[in-house]
Structure 1
Amino acid sequence: MSERLKALADAGVSIWLDDLSRERIETGNLAELVEQRSVVGVTTNPTIFAGAIADGERYDQQVRDLVAEGRSVDEVIFELTTEDVRNACDVLAPVAERTADDGRVSIEVEPALAHDTDATIASAKALWAAVDRLNALIKIPATAAGLPAITAVIAEGISVNVTLIFSVERYQAVMDAYLEGLERAKDAGHDLSQIRSVASFFVSRVDSEVDSRLEKIGTDEALALRGRAAVANARVAYGAFEGVLASERWQQLAAAGARPQRPLWASTGVKNPDYPDTLYVTDLVVADTVNTMPEKTLEAVADHGELQGDQVSGRAREAQELLDAVVAAGVDWAEVLEVLESEGVSKFEASWDELVETVRAQMEKAKA
């Protein structure tokens, strides 16, 4: 057991692994991470699945069987990924039983649907039915078209991981979509205590985009702000989360059994080698949050992550002042957020294309 990771968990941060493969499941590695690394959840994306399928032989027989049935590449992807998520849900079922909100495994709707509300809803329903586990989460992007899809899916009792959130304003809209979904679910007679949601607030990409702009500006004031915007943005978001929890609207839902939609810090692998490799973990410690980490970041925290207690509560105003300073230095914050969301959707689509090509290659090999 890693004492540093245990301390992080004891601070109220749920540690989720941003990775999954059939090898992790079948070798017992995932169960080992739960036991020894305080991992209590899993997030996935198409790139993760592409790497797992390309590198491992554990998918070969299923691919051969599906090819023999005449399945399309999209159908093969659906079967391979939902089986992995279903089995990971089973590994994490004991965690789900002993905790209020953890033991969850996320699977993403097809990224090309990010701007199509109805198609997103249909995809979410299909994934939920196929995985058929209460501790699954369906990942839906927080695009303008994704927001009504989130409400509609929650209203049907489906648990959701809202992904691709960069701005506090969009995050507030996500929280509103969740509350509206819960209200509709309640009216429809669903058991609110069975619905779960996290809101995935992306971190490192904010620094990457802001830092490049600060460096172009080049003043001493601008350069002094590098590496600080992402954490500040997340701290302001947490303040918005606290505001919702204090609202009468939320209190009424909580009284009916609803669980809060916890903030999830995503994109926590540090991209700038000049920054501490545990930056987006140790600087975002606060109770009632999730931090999903690639294994490299997880092991960095286990090895040398230094926790300094709660780094977020009560710091929203200070964090907003930092963001105001970034704007005063000459950074167009609205443009930053627009670029990040647009690039985020494009990266998701490229990730899906990578998965399609990987599976298509495996299908061709199976025919040979």
Structure 2
Amino acid sequence: MTAESHSTIGNPRTKALSDVGVSIWLDDLSRDRLNSGSLASLIETHHVVGVTTNPTIFESAVGSGDAYEQQLAELAEKGADAEQAVFEITTSDVREACDVFAGTYGATNGVDGRVSIEVDPRMARDADATIAEAKRLYEAVGRENVMIKIPATVEGIEAIAAVISEGISVNVTLVFSLERYRAVINAFMLGLEKAHTDGLDISKIHSVASFFVSRVDSEVDKRLELAAEEGKPGTEKLKSKAAIANARLAHQIASESFSSERWRLLAERGGRPQRLLLASTGTKDPSLSDTLYVTELAAAGVVNTMPEKTLDALADHGEVDGDTMTDTYVESNRVLDGISAAGISYRSVVDALETEGLEKFDKSWEGLLSTIDEGLKRQK
């Protein structure tokens, strides 16, 4: 069973997206959301079938309100430091969210009902440390429907294959480039091949690759403005086109990769395809539709993880018009060719975005540690 057949009630606009075959995941988690029943409610009202988290989300959650005070007091009593407390608090939230989605997980045969938790982003350039932390998180959460998030750095590619080969489901995050996405798919297949060789049931191993969207437009549009100032023609028509084109070409890569002979052999052994997950789907440019990166990137078998603001916008006024990704590849290539013709280096853009993404997560992680440390000190 897939997302389109899982839920038949609730908001008609989110249902329309679900009916296309898009799995709607919420990009947010907090103790308040769990305690209030808000997360459980979204499953029924907004067709939400999964959750993603990251250091920024946890920093915001812990820094707001007093929902974590009791656990902080217990951890302080045990003498936990900030690092230990972060681990305990985040895995507790994710474990509880996994339980909220247990029904969805069962109903979709493990495809949805997933909750993602990220390895310490400071390990992003260290494959061995990432592998060890992924195993530690998986064991601590102790739920089959958890996904461990691993950034798609060069070092992360090695870790992805290794963690998948251990039978752990992985959400590959911070994917910006088409070249890196191909490497991510290869790592996923390498991991499954090794898992099968080692005698594991590969039908139990799931993965998504989080291809970031809105940040691509933010970076490219900034560079297009400079190109326009330099008098390069045709830049205006390319504004806010790069992110959608990039994501649609990622969809082409996924479609081709998971219809290959290599994949056919894995599928015969029980392998489940790694799904394309569209992340960073909230629009940052106020002149754009607030549902742009949802309605223009709809296709069966993809996941769209949305911040609550974007989910609410979709539910309020989003116009879903079927599959908007398949058969768009030629035009999408024209967009990227036009950007290149304007003197903008695709490689420079995606490299800058990866570096910026890692820096943001590092900063959020340090902020989370600081907030937790202050909370522990309050208990003493």
Question: What interval of TM-score do these two structures reach, taking the shorter chain for normalisation?
Answer: over 0.9
- Give 1:146's aligned residue: 156
Q: Aligned ranges for residues 242-281 of structure 1 at < 5 Å?
A: 242-281=255-294
- Give 1:59's aligned residue: 68
- Give 1:329's aligned residue: 342
Check the 8 A contact 2:103/2:113 in 1, yes or no.
yes
- Give 2:5's aligned residue: none
The residue matched to 2:101 in structure 1 has which SS? helix
Q: How many residues align?
A: 367
Check the 8 A contact 2:297/2:324 in 1, yes or no.
yes
- Tell me, yes or no, if structure 1 residue 168 matches structure 2 residue 181: no
* C-alpha RMSD of matched pairs (Å): 0.8
- Give 2:26's aligned residue: 17
Aligned partner letter, 1:336: V
Structure 2: tracts of 5 or more residues without a match: 1-9
Query: Following the alignment from structure 2 to structure 1, what is the Cα–Cα distance between the partners of residues 195 and 276?
Result: 21
Aligned partner letter, 1:291: N
Q: Aligned ranges for residues 231-310 of structure 1 at < 5 Å?
A: 231-310=244-323
Query: Following the alignment from structure 1 to structure 2, what is the Cα–Cα distance between the partners of residues 55 and 33?
Result: 21
**Alpha-carbon displacement from aligned partner over 1:49-88 (angstroms, at most 9, x marks no partner):** 1221121322111111111111111100000000000000
Aligned partner letter, 1:341: E
- Counterpart among 4, 8, 12 of residue 17 in structure 2: 8
- Counterpart among 37, 47, 68 of residue 46 in structure 2: 37
TM-score (norm 1): 0.98
Q: Aligned ranges for residues 162-201 of structure 1 at < 5 Å?
A: 162-201=172-211
Aligned partner letter, 2:138: W
- Counterpart among 214, 217, 236 of residue 207 in structure 1: 217
Per-residue deviation, 1:292: 0.2
The residue matched to 1:190 in structure 2 has which SS? coil
Check the 8 A contact 2:81/2:373 in 1, yes or no.
no
- Give 2:353's aligned residue: 340
Query: Following the alignment from structure 1 to structure 2, what is the Cα–Cα distance between the partners of residues 115 and 194?
Result: 28
- Counterpart among 69, 73, 78 of residue 78 in structure 2: 69
Aligned partner letter, 2:303: V
Per-residue deviation, 1:27: 1.5
**Alpha-carbon displacement from aligned partner over 1:233-278 (angstroms, at most 9, x marks no partner):** 0001100001111111111111111111000000001000010000
- Give 1:95's aligned residue: 104
Query: Following the alignment from structure 1 to structure 2, what is the Cα–Cα distance between the partners of residues 47 and 109?
Result: 13
**Alpha-carbon displacement from aligned partner over 1:200-227 (angstroms, at most 9, x marks no partner):** 0000000000000001111451121010
Per-residue deviation, 1:317: 2.4
Check the 8 A contact 2:172/2:208 in 1, yes or no.
yes
Aligned partner letter, 1:132: G
**Alpha-carbon displacement from aligned partner over 1:255-310 (angstroms, at most 9, x marks no partner):** 11111100000000100001000000000011100000000000000001011211
Query: Following the alignment from structure 2 to structure 1, what is the Cα–Cα distance between the partners of residues 191 and 254?
Result: 17
Identity of matched residues, %: 54
- Give 1:226's aligned residue: 239
The residue matched to 1:224 in structure 2 has which SS? helix
Deviates more, 1:243-252 or 1:173-182: 243-252
Query: Following the alignment from structure 1 to structure 2, what is the Cα–Cα distance between the partners of residues 27 and 332?
Result: 47
The residue matched to 2:72 in structure 1 has which SS? helix
The residue matched to 1:272 in structure 2 has which SS? coil
Per-residue deviation, 1:47: 1.5
Check the 8 A contact 2:165/2:195 in 1, yes or no.
yes
Deviates more, 1:48-57 or 1:93-102: 48-57
TM-score (norm 2): 0.95
Spell out structure 1 runs of 4+ moving beyond 4 A. Answer: none
Check the 8 A contact 2:212/2:278 in 1, yes or no.
yes
Check the 8 A contact 2:86/2:369 in 1, yes or no.
yes
The residue matched to 1:106 in structure 2 has which SS? strand
Query: Following the alignment from structure 1 to structure 2, what is the Cα–Cα distance between the partners of residues 28 and 223?
Result: 46
Query: Following the alignment from structure 1 to structure 2, what is the Cα–Cα distance between the partners of residues 243 and 303?
Result: 35
Query: Following the alignment from structure 1 to structure 2, what is the Cα–Cα distance between the partners of residues 37 and 220?
Result: 43
Aligned partner letter, 1:275: L
Query: Following the alignment from structure 1 to structure 2, what is the Cα–Cα distance between the partners of residues 333 and 180?
Result: 27
Per-residue deviation, 1:28: 1.1
The residue matched to 1:25 in structure 2 has which SS? helix
- Give 2:6's aligned residue: none
